[in-house]
Amino acid sequence: MDLIVIAQIITGLATLIVALVLVFQLRKQNEQINIQNKQLELQHKDTERDFITQFDTRFEDIQKNIYSNDDMASIWVRGSLSWENLKNDTERYRYRNIYRQIMRWGLSQYKFEKMGIMTINESLKKRQMRNMLAEKGMAHVYKNYYKPILEVSDVPEMLNLCNELYKEIWKEDISNFKPEYKSTFRF
């Protein structure tokens, strides 16, 4: 055999060996990437689960604040039935802030849904917001204190739903209503 042919065979074999080594390394690297991706996916799911658990705990804490304290439960029930049932500015302040906390919890649901963190069934959203408008005192606080907050939020869907439900329940279109501005301690 000619020396050139032998050199070409050796070069060919060397190239084949290098190609096989590279393919093996690529396969190994892909396996590692797949393992890392699965670990990241699990971490992401764990983070979402933790987030939703914390979110649910926040709502439970708001509710606990109401039902575990007789004064707060009384304020919540009386204020929900009618704003006029609240005896003084302290009760009005407390009621309005409980209402705001619950509505902010609802607003957060919309924001988290936009971020892809959670999905909320449309009928559940509607039922939740209907519950927050169903009584005279709740409707008063929404119309006069919380609606302006929704108007400047980045979640017009919640504002539109609440205004639609308000009209359905109370037979009044408040979509263009602008309440008189009142500071935090004015009612």
Whether residue 184 lies inside any domain: the answer is no
Number of independent structural domains in the chain: 1
Distance CA 97, CA 102 (A): 9
**pLDDT string in tens for the chain (187-residue length):** 688 888 888 898 889 898 888 998 999 999 999 889 889 888 888 887 787 788 788 888 888 888 899 999 999 999 999 999 999 999 999 999 999 999 999 998 898 888 888 888 899 999 999 999 999 999 999 999 999 999 999 899 999 999 999 999 999 999 999 988 877 777 8
Position 3 scores a pLDDT of 83
> Euclidean distance between the first and final Cα of the chain, in Å?
105
Whether residue 53 lies inside any domain: the answer is yes
Domain span at residue 34 reads 3-170
